[in-house]
Amino acid sequence: MIYLDNNATTEIDPRVVDVMIDVLRSGPCNASSQHAIGRAARLRIDDAIDVIGSAIDSALDQPGGPRLIFTSGGTESNNLALTGLADPDAAIVLSRIEHPSVIAVAEHLAAQGREIRWMDVDHTGVAKIDSLADLIQSGDRPAGLVSLMSANNETGVIQPIEQAAQICRDLGVTFHVDATQSIGKVPISFRSLGASAVTMSAHKFHGPTGIGGLWIAGGVKLRPQLHGGEQQLESRPGTEPVPLICGMATALQLATSELPETQPRLSLLRDRLEQGLRSAHPDLVVHGSSRDDEGEVALVPRLPNTTCLSFLGADRQSMLMALDFAGVACSSGSACSSGSSPPSHVLLAMGLPAEQVQSALRFGVSKFSTEKKIDDAIDRISRCYKRLRQNRAVEN
């Protein structure tokens, strides 16, 4: 199988597995226990936090400074951010292309009477940042929270986070960034991001599933959503999963230290895939782009590993199944909604024609992809596409 679904999850790095096995084999690990074994577990967590702090350029050990709350992953971090940050009565502003773990929470809060204000995106998939200040200030009272993802999981399109942070700072609004897809693919400094809170998830950067974090800037208050123990300063009680925390720290350290080599390699492999497919099928639509009068495609800044393509004349679900059968793993949208696979809310928000939405697939390469696998994938994808198109032509 050629795995090109790395925005859904990544293969765990063997070096992370080694660290986790060591910790798993080291014996009981409850960092709250008041004996030597408990203290050893606490030390492992403290070390992991130091490693994570250096990797994201944010000192996490200063009293009153930024802190990291370990969660079960991106979904929980996003839930915690939306429900736990800012005044619970103030409106929330979010873009229409956020991950379902943001949108569904917002809809849940809206059903309880919370006002949600939506920020539109343009046809390339970039949030219309010029509307943000008005959205914050419109209505009876200013919004209390803005949530914007750093890069979209379906198109890879990078969002105007710095501008959003500046606007939120000027207007005194709490700003949450879902950085789940950016970490390990593009450089990101939490210190200079200007966010109040940032979501991360280890399995997106070759770490284990089931662990993530919500970084909180110094002085930002959070209402916990779980109650029960004093762990993590009561922000998120429950016995800390020490092997997962150590795995996440190692994965993050590797992802950020190796980024200077990984980032250009990911770009090269993604571009190879895109160009190979486009030269075989010139009418393929690359999302996150616009065409000028001569038909030249101009791409907006995207994550280096991601491409979202519409195979006009083919249905995305049929394409996905044909590719699965042919040994290529990709996705027809967010993995979290692919069970039922409704049309992508991201592509719909971009105002794309139905034919493009119906035929869109997402491919994501990783550091474990190779040129050979990409060339092989181009061949298999091309063959599937040609066959489906021919079948469609016969049916019509």
Residues marked active site are found at: 336
Nearer to ligand PMP, 165 or 378 (CB): 165
**Helix or strand or coil: residue 157?**
strand
Among 75, 79, 83, 250, binds ligand PMP (CB under 6 A): 75
Query: CB 315 → ligand PMP: shortest distance, Å?
Result: 23
Q: Does 332 bind ligand PMP (CB under 6 A)?
A: no
Q: Does 329 bind ligand PMP (CB under 6 A)?
A: no
- The angle subtended at Cα 49 by Cα 35 and Cα 173, nearest 5°, is 125
CA atoms within 13 A of residue 213's CA, in its CB half-sphere = 31
Q: Does 345 bind ligand PMP (CB under 6 A)?
A: no
Q: Which span sits near ligand PMP by CB under 6 A: 283-291, 307-315, 328-336, 361-369? A: 328-336
Strand ranges, E, within 327-373: 328-329, 360-364
Q: How far apart are CA 215 and CA 178, in angstroms?
A: 10
Q: Does 180 bind ligand PMP (CB under 6 A)?
A: yes
Q: Does 12 bind ligand PMP (CB under 6 A)?
A: no
What is the token pair recorded at 167? 């606007």
Q: Does 149 bind ligand PMP (CB under 6 A)?
A: yes
Q: How far apart are CA 115 and CA 61, in angstroms?
A: 36
Please give the full DSSP string across 63-99, using - where no structure is assigned.
Answer: TTS-EEEEESSHHHHHHHHHHHBS-TTS-EEEETT--
What is the token pair recorded at 314? 């083919």
CB atoms within 10 A of CB 299: 16
Q: Which span sits near ligand PMP by CB under 6 A: 128-136, 178-186, 341-349, 367-375? A: 178-186
Q: Does 95 bind ligand PMP (CB under 6 A)?
A: no
Please give the full DSSP string across 268-299, using - where no structure is assigned.
Answer: HHHHHHHHHHHHH-TTPEESSEEE-TT--EEE
Site string for ligand PMP, 184-203 (x = CB under 6 A): -----------------x-x
Query: CB 70 → ligand PMP: shortest distance, Å?
Result: 12
Q: How far apart are CA 255 and CA 183, in angstroms?
A: 8
What is the token pair recorded at 168? 């939120």
Query: CB 151 → ligand PMP: shortest distance, Å?
Result: 8
What Rg, from alpha-carbon coordinates, does the chain have?
22
- The angle subtended at Cα 345 by Cα 339 and Cα 347, nearest 5°, is 115
Nearer to ligand PMP, 78 or 253 (CB): 78
Q: Does 153 bind ligand PMP (CB under 6 A)?
A: yes
Nearer to ligand PMP, 288 or 384 (CB): 288
**Helix or strand or coil: residue 335?**
helix
Site string for ligand PMP, 201-240 (x = CB under 6 A): x-x--------x----------------------------
Nearer to ligand PMP, 48 or 202 (CB): 202
Among 73, 125, 156, 333, binds ligand PMP (CB under 6 A): 73
Q: Does 74 bind ligand PMP (CB under 6 A)?
A: yes
Strand ranges, E, within 280-382: 285-286, 289-291, 297-299, 306-310, 328-329, 360-364
Query: CB 10 → ligand PMP: shortest distance, Å?
Result: 11
| Residues 34 and 168: beta-carbon distance below 8 Å | no
| Residues 223 and 84: beta-carbon distance below 8 Å | yes
Site string for ligand PMP, 98-137 (x = CB under 6 A): -x-x------------------------------------
Among 13, 178, 240, 274, binds ligand PMP (CB under 6 A): 178
Q: Residue count at the site for ligand PMP (CB under 6 A)?
A: 17
Nearer to ligand PMP, 78 or 235 (CB): 78
User: What are the φ and ψ backbone dihedral angles of 309, each rounded to 5 degrees?
Assistant: -125, 140
Query: CB 230 → ligand PMP: shortest distance, Å?
Result: 25
Which residues in this chain contact ligand PMP in the complex, by CB under 6 A?
73-75, 78, 99, 101, 149, 153, 178, 180-181, 201, 203, 212, 334-336
